[in-house]
Amino acid sequence: MYIDLTIINAENLKQKAYITFYFEGVRQRIYSGRAVGLMIFPNRAKTVKVRVKRLEALKRALIELVENESYPYVAENGSKEADKVILLLKRLKENTGSLGKMSEHQLQELKLIQESLSSLIACHVK
């Protein structure tokens, strides 16, 4: 799927920079990586060079997410809160094996929370 991502205001440090694109007919504006679960903050950069690098990194990450069909804010009910929970649940499923620093009890608790939230979301999304 081809989507044209455009960087806006990269050269002016006094204005917020963002990446804009249309996804399934809806305009998206991404100001930071937080929207997709990444720690990329272009608007906190002190120089234009650093800001442009961060925006390019964010753009590459967005392209990868869209191409892999895992762009997180596509929900039937349009609730960003529900989308965030769904994203957290996906990450928990993906990263359960790599959470080696957590005890077995903590992992079991996380799985119980995941199951509870999944059933709660399933009831409200339909």
User: What pLDDT is recorded for position 10?
Assistant: 79
Do 60 and 24 lie in one domain? The reply is: yes
Do 22 and 54 lie in one domain? The reply is: yes
pLDDT per 10-residue tile (average), the chain, 126 residues: 82 91 87 85 93 93 83 52 62 59 69 75 64
- Domain-located, residue 56: yes
Do 13 and 62 lie in one domain? The reply is: yes
User: What pLDDT is recorded for position 89?
Assistant: 63
Q: What DSSP state is assigned to residue 126? A: -
User: What pLDDT is recorded for position 110?
Assistant: 74
Provide the residue range defining the domain that includes 47.
6-67
Do 58 and 86 lie in one domain? The reply is: no
- Domain-located, residue 75: no
d(CA 96, CA 114): 11
Total domains in the chain come to 2
d(CA 93, CA 48): 38
Residue 26: φ, ψ to 5°: -115, 130
Sheet strand arrangement including 26-30 = 6-8, 18-23, 26-30
